[in-house]
Structure 1
Amino acid sequence: MEHPTSLLSLFALAAGMAATGLFSGVLAGLLGVGGGIVIVPVLFNILPIFGVPEAVQMKIAVATSLATIIPTSIISARKHFAKGTMDMALLRSLAPAMFVGALAGTVLAVVLKGPVLSGIFAAVALLVAINMGFAGLEWRLRQSMPPGLARIGIGAGIGGFSAVMGIGGGTLGVPVLSMFGANIRGAVSTSSAFGLIIAVPATIGLVLAGLGVEGRPPYSLGWVSLIGFVLIAPASIVATPWGVALAHSISPLLLKRVFAVFLALTSARMAYSLLG
């Protein structure tokens, strides 16, 4: 495919990035996710058009997504906190292990090959979709989050897998908190803060790891595409409060089903791209 060099093509790219930002922002507020579950697949499919080598496409998509999650997560978490539904005690108990897990996940995101990262993304997204789509609203593994080493493992797992996938912690945090007794709105609200704990160390690590590496697109800082960040982040910030308002006004069961359908579609698209 030829490189799109016309102004019309560049405008189309900018419009697509801005639309991605709006969509990811709504999801960040609505579902407690950082928007990466949208941004990663979009960038993964756009980057080849601009001649970015296949070997680095997923790394750039993951890193750029994590960078955009930082401002979006701040806005989303502040809005949810203001509504009084965020479980601060639970958040504080999970944060240290989640941070360490994010560091470990960042190392894996650097050393793993692009197709492996794609496969992890598609598989985990599908598992989460199945859980959210078929588990009833009142289904619980237990009525509260387990203490001790189990809680540490849960926090580290959320942080690690999220960093590898380039997503906010809500994609995994919402179903996990739901399984351990949280109502869906409380899970969405508390998980909205996970993105910041995960994305800050992961973004820094991927910036440092990608410095000087060949094959990156122009105007990249490490593995982070600054063009993608500049186009996506502002639109996402604008749209996040819209999602927060929706999260507190629609049916919890509908909220869970919407989340499941979107994740299933995302997983299918990523798997198709991988197999193709």
Structure 2
Amino acid sequence: MLSAIVWNDIAFLLGALLLGGILTGLIAGMLGVGGGGVIVPILYEVFGMMGVDESVRMQLCIGTSLAIIIPTSIRSYRAHKAKGAVLPDVLKQWRVPAITGIIIGSAIAGLVAGWVLQVVFVVVIGALGLKSLLGRNDIRIAETLPGRGLMWFYGLVIGLASSMVGISGGGISTNFLLLYGVPIHAAVATSAGIGIFIPIPGVIGYAIAGWPHLAELPPLSLGYVSVIGFVMMAPISALVAPYGARFSHRLSRRHLEIMFGVFLLLIASRFVYGLLAG
């Protein structure tokens, strides 16, 4: 018989994963991101309670986050596409370089220490949050999107950063598009599409990279991908994502930016605290 304390711990973990799935879906739909900024910190705390070693915990969070993002991003993208706001030519230009970047990033993440990934997470998420919160959309590189070469480079950066942070790349691609005068709702909708093809190669890469460390990982882990985390969070986040997408089209551009910025800075501050305390 399991003790009452054990059952309470299990209930807490399940509740945290369920809440995380709901938040992930809402944020993915509203902001065109896969929700990795929510998934990673929640899983980080959950896996910490499960006793996962610090040397592999961040890698496990990122790999699992990428897996959870896949169904969520698909439903979020479909909801935005129904509104007619997606820029399909941008998705075509970014597909190959983004996949290339995430394969390279996954390989790097499997070799570096967990704290390195936390620092990368803070820098990327914090920079995106600050830019959105300041609302400096008057900053423009140009009024039209750049040529094929520079777009290829941006796609590579999106994939590389996404694989090392555990996000779909939506937040990064949104800001790239805004720098070239793309309206916020079109940028968010197009960025939602990035999450369809970025996470899959990342999941495969993290599964392979974590295979030698199975003894240090929780049960039912495929390398650095937790099946338990995926099963608990992915269905509910995918179910909720379309509601967030519909809600986003009722908000002004500035409201979306503020929500996005505050959300990302709160997440980044949590990891800054953890790095300093550790």
Superposition TM-score tier, normalisation by shorter sequence: over 0.9
Structure-1-length-normalised TM-score: 0.96
- Give, in whole Å, the separation in 1 of the partners of 2:5 and 2:118: 28
**C-alpha deviations, 1:178-235, integer Å up to 9, x for none?**
1111111001000001112210000011112212422101111111111111111111
Q: How does 1:17-28 map to 2 (within 5 A)?
A: 17-28=17-28
- Give, in whole Å, the separation in 1 of the partners of 2:272 and 2:231: 28
Q: Which shifted more, 41-50 or 18-27?
A: 41-50
Equivalenced residues, count: 273
**Corresponding residue number in structure 2 for 1:263:** 264
Asked if residue 223 in structure 1 is aligned to residue 190 in structure 2, the reply is no
**C-alpha deviations, 1:131-189, integer Å up to 9, x for none?**
11113344422112211321111110011101110101112111111111111100100
- Give, in whole Å, the separation in 2 of the partners of 1:261 and 1:134: 10
8 A Cα contact 2:64 2:224, kept in partner? yes
- Give, in whole Å, the separation in 2 of the partners of 1:5 and 1:245: 41
Asked if residue 129 in structure 1 is aligned to residue 162 in structure 2, the reply is no
Could you list the runs of 5+ residues in structure 2 that have no partner in the other structure? none
RMSD: 1.3
Q: Which shifted more, 130-139 or 198-207?
A: 130-139
Q: Which shifted more, 40-49 or 161-170?
A: 40-49
Offset of 1:49 from its aligned partner?
Answer: 1.2
**Corresponding residue number in structure 2 for 1:50:** 50
**Corresponding residue number in structure 2 for 1:209:** 209
**What SS does structure 2 have at the residue aligned with 1:192?**
helix
**Corresponding residue number in structure 1 for 2:76:** 76
Asked if residue 151 in structure 1 is aligned to residue 179 in structure 2, the reply is no
- Give, in whole Å, the separation in 2 of the partners of 1:80 and 1:162: 21
Q: Which shifted more, 53-62 or 76-85?
A: 76-85
8 A Cα contact 2:79 2:246, kept in partner? no
**What SS does structure 2 have at the residue aligned with 1:193?**
helix
**Corresponding residue number in structure 2 for 1:30:** 30
- Give, in whole Å, the separation in 2 of the partners of 1:145 and 1:273: 39
Amino acid at match of 1:230: V
**Corresponding residue number in structure 2 for 1:163:** 163
Offset of 1:237 from its aligned partner?
Answer: 1.0
- Give, in whole Å, the separation in 1 of the partners of 2:30 and 2:74: 14
**What SS does structure 1 have at the residue aligned with 2:168?**
coil
Could you list the runs of 5+ residues in structure 1 that have no partner in the other structure? none
Structure-2-length-normalised TM-score: 0.95
Q: Which shifted more, 117-126 or 137-146?
A: 137-146
Asked if residue 97 in structure 1 is aligned to residue 82 in structure 2, the reply is no
8 A Cα contact 2:137 2:179, kept in partner? no
Offset of 1:5 from its aligned partner?
Answer: 6.1
8 A Cα contact 1:37 1:171, kept in partner? no
- Give, in whole Å, the separation in 2 of the partners of 1:96 and 1:183: 24
**What SS does structure 1 have at the residue aligned with 2:217?**
coil
Amino acid at match of 1:168: S
- Give, in whole Å, the separation in 2 of the partners of 1:15 and 1:140: 43
- Give, in whole Å, the separation in 2 of the partners of 1:94 and 1:111: 26
- Give, in whole Å, the separation in 1 of the partners of 2:197 and 2:182: 20
- Give, in whole Å, the separation in 2 of the partners of 1:160 and 1:208: 17
Aligned-residue sequence identity (percent) comes to 36
Q: How does 1:231-242 map to 2 (within 5 A)?
A: 231-242=232-243
8 A Cα contact 2:135 2:254, kept in partner? no
- Give, in whole Å, the separation in 1 of the partners of 2:5 and 2:147: 56
**Corresponding residue number in structure 2 for 1:7:** 7
Amino acid at match of 1:98: A
- Give, in whole Å, the separation in 2 of the partners of 1:248 and 1:235: 21
- Give, in whole Å, the separation in 1 of the partners of 2:212 and 2:113: 18
